[in-house]
Amino acid sequence: MADARYPHLLSPWRLRDLELRNRVMFAPTCPVWVRSPYDGVFTEQAVAYYEERARGGVGMIIIGGTLINRDTIYSPFLFPGLWSDEQIGGLAAVAEAVHRHGCKLSVQLLHVGLRAATAFKTDPAYDFDATWHMSAPSAVPPGEYPGALMPKELEEHEIQAILDDYESAARRAIDAGLDGVEFHMAHGYLPWQFLSPLYNLRTDGWGGSYENRLRFSLEAMRRIRSAVGDEKLLGYRVNSTSFWDGDLEPDDVKQIVTDFDQRVDVDYVNLSAGVHHSYIHTPMEYEEGWEREYTRAIKEVTDKPVFLVGRFNTPGAAEAALAAGDADAILLARQMFADPEWVNKASAGADDDIRRCVAANYCWRSVTRGGRVQCVYNPEVGREAAWGAATRQPATEPRTVLVVGGGPAGLEFARVAAAAGHRITLLEAADVTGGHTRAYGALPHRTEYGHIGTWLTDQAAKNGAEIRTGASVDASNLDTLLAELAPDHVVVATGARVRRDGFQGQTARPLPGHETGNCVGWDQVALGEVTPTGDVLVIDDLQDVAAPLVAHKLAAGGATVRLLTRWPMIAMDTAGDVYLHWMLTYVYRSGVELLCDHFVKEISGDRVTAFNIYDPQSVRQLRADTIVMATGRAANDGLRPLLLERGISTETIGDALAPRGTYEATFEGHRAARRLSGTAAPSAAPTPAGAAA
């Protein structure tokens, strides 16, 4: 039966011989739930992770890039494999858990080709006979990062072996009880490398002409279909475009899709876009469903179902895309990290309760540094067995708790603790809650980030927490508040303040002469508390989005802006979030002058003496009517000693403990609330799925 509010999105439908309960799917994303990349075996952590999303209501889950052979292992990603029968058991355990909730399951088969690094395989503890190179159709290195390894050009027997590996991996997936497989030929991986004239420079039967470049994908999918049989799903993921000069364009892809329809027994087209330097993980300012024009074009040439991905956060936007005929199913990727209960909430009419993805891309950052997928403000990701929806229960002994501070740490504590039945009062000194998420959300192009604080506030209040703003707490009123509220426990979540004196790690001191200049914090500029004009110097030691976007904002407003940093470039810390591309674009287009490799020797009124840290004799005198500091922060930790003096049960969380980020703040808030109820069980070491713990 179709849902009255979302009749397209939440209606059942058929895909080959499968009946799916709705048109929402968990997109193939980084399946980093293995004990070791060398064995590629799913653990019990994987079972809980995928079961949580099946329980949350999606119609089908497509497990992301699963490696078809050992030679394509690549660092730093902790990906599973299907090159060995020993990997079947872990995948089977996932399938059993997912099917238990009425959800279908497929897996994406991956060979990365040239797009990888080999550090895992060069580990002295690994196989001495491992290949210390990547292989590709031609000796063309990836172009999106420096120092990329030149791959070895594949020989005929190696191509045939890889095709055999696709077939064997597909057979193992079906043996594990899955409903189908997906051939991954998007994002510049091996099949795309054969297809694209940018990467494929061969002159034999595997390259040159369009027909020859198509040959690898055709042969791979034919072998996969033979392995899975006639009843199971076979789909493929392909780029609509890579946004890369010289690569395949949308019209090329339309021809490829047409040929696949005619020559391979496939069930759907899963359309994506981009390569890893940008667009796969689009920034937060992109609108929901921004790829609709590409799926619409593909639907003109195929009668197969076409899947649409692209920043979908709300059920309304997903429904609109389906109703317009732009796609046949909606894929949720990052949104499923943020809230695995998205479908259930949409079905219940609880759209406002959905924890909306803000596209901070902390998920990708956590993966690219060799870790597990994490969400910037959903601490339950990867901890589903201990903290998932099925673990929520009322507190056996509700307590009265005072939370001081309404940033992400305090709000997450209040949200979780109030939901468990504790009596929570939260006091925030500012007129608005949100803490540092409010300042980051006030930056240009970052409005979505402010939603974190808004959502946490709304959910805490909905769960029963009393939230008071404009309510500071200090020595003068602490005793009165303690007498009024009589808390059993006090949580100090007072956050941190941006240093206006330029304190940083280079000298571990404030900048000399800071007291003589007109020095302000970047947060003051972002929030509109000050509006510098004239000559402005932004000093950046953070290397995040703050300094570039403040500089961009001021330059766009007419100021003459220089951005000074001791580092060799700006925004270095945003590379892991896939925001470096955008930061550089904004800064260069707004005319900001960059002074990299420079440090401040002295501030003297409206004059700043700066020097090149690699050539200290090279000195510049800079005029600055205003100096904007994006340097260190200091914890607001003065309340804890006052509480300890009074013998009050207390703990400190988030930036008040040590200034860090939103991820750490929400995690500590969540953990502290769970501990209050006695449900903050620590995670054990990953255990292979189906094995004894």
Average of per-residue pLDDT across 118-143: 90
**Residue 344 scores a pLDDT above 90:** yes
pLDDT at position 682:
55
CA distances from 464 to 422, 449, 461 (A): 9, 24, 5
Mean pLDDT of the chain: 95
Please give the backbone phi and psi of residue 571, each rounded to the nearest 5 degrees, phi first.
Answer: 60, 30
Average of per-residue pLDDT across 525-530: 98
**Residue 148 scores a pLDDT above 60:** yes
* Least confident interval from 45-49, 146-150, 479-483, 529-533: 146-150
pLDDT at position 686:
57
Q: What is the per-residue pLDDT across 616-629, written as a single tens digit (0 to 9) for each?
A: 999 999 999 999 99
pLDDT at position 374:
97
End-to-end CA distance of the chain: 41
Q: What is the per-residue pLDDT across 419-435, written as a single tens digit (0 to 9) for each?
A: 999 999 999 999 999 99
pLDDT at position 142:
87
Catalytic residue among 49, 50, 189, 579: 189
Which token pair is 599? Answer: 């440090």
Alpha helix positions (H), 244-401: 250-263, 292-299, 315-323, 334-338, 342-347, 362-368, 384-387
Please give the backbone phi and psi of residue 329, each rounded to the nearest 5 degrees, phi first.
Answer: -155, 155
What CATH number is given for 390-495+636-677 in this structure?
3.40.50.720
pLDDT at position 691:
57
To 5 degrees, how large is the angle CA 334–CA 336–CA 338?
Answer: 75
> Residues 292, 273: contact at Cβ < 8 Å?
no
**Residue 693 scores a pLDDT above 70:** no
Which token pair is 432? Answer: 């608005």
pLDDT at position 84:
98
Gap between the Cα atoms of 39 and 519, Å rounded: 54
Gap between the Cα atoms of 237 and 227, Å rounded: 19
Which bin fits 92, alpha (ψ -120 to 50), beta or left (φ > 0)? alpha
Banded model confidence at residue 149, pLDDT cuts 50, 70, 90: confident
Average of per-residue pLDDT across 63-71: 96
Query: Domain boundaries in the chain?
Result: 13-359, 390-495+636-677, 504-633
| Known active-site residue 189 | yes
**Residue 332 scores a pLDDT above 80:** yes
Q: What is the per-residue pLDDT across 430-455, written as a single tens digit (0 to 9) for each?
A: 999 999 999 999 999 999 999 999 99
Which token pair is 579? Answer: 């925001």
Average of per-residue pLDDT across 82-86: 98
pLDDT at position 75:
80
> Residues 412, 666: contact at Cβ < 8 Å?
yes
Give the per-residue SS3 of 45-89. HHHHHHHHHHHCCCCEEEEEEEECCHHHCCECCCCCECCCHHHHH
Collapsed DSSP state (helix, strand, coil) of residue 150: coil
CA distances from 169 to 27, 69, 230, 479 (A): 20, 8, 17, 67
User: Which position has the token pair 């969400």?
Assistant: 375
Banded model confidence at residue 677, pLDDT cuts 50, 70, 90: confident
* Least confident interval from 248-262, 537-551, 672-686: 672-686
pLDDT at position 692:
42
Long-range contacts of 250-258 (CB under 8 A, 24+ apart): 250/294, 250/297, 253/298, 254/297, 254/298, 254/300, 254/301, 255/210, 256/195, 256/214, 256/217, 257/298, 257/301, 257/302, 258/301, 258/302
Q: What is the per-residue pLDDT across 532-571, written as a single tens digit (0 to 9) for each?
A: 999 999 999 999 999 999 999 999 999 999 999 999 999 9
The percent of residues above 90 in pLDDT, for the chain, comes to 90
CA distances from 280 to 277, 406, 664 (A): 8, 33, 25
- The sheet carrying 489-492 orders its strands as 466-469, 423-428, 400-404, 489-492, 650-652
Among 469, 481, 364, CA closest to 410: 469
Rg of the chain over CA atoms, in angstroms? 27
Q: Domain 13-359 belongs to what architecture? A: Alpha-Beta Barrel (3.20)
Average of per-residue pLDDT across 407-413: 98
Which token pair is 126? Answer: 């690994």
Average of per-residue pLDDT across 336-344: 98
**Residue 351 scores a pLDDT above 70:** yes
Q: Domain 504-633 belongs to what architecture? A: 3-Layer(bba) Sandwich (3.50)
pTM of the model: 0.96
**Residue 681 scores a pLDDT above 70:** no
**Residue 277 scores a pLDDT above 80:** no
**Residue 76 scores a pLDDT above 90:** no
Amino acid identity of residue 94, one-letter, is V
Average of per-residue pLDDT across 471-493: 98
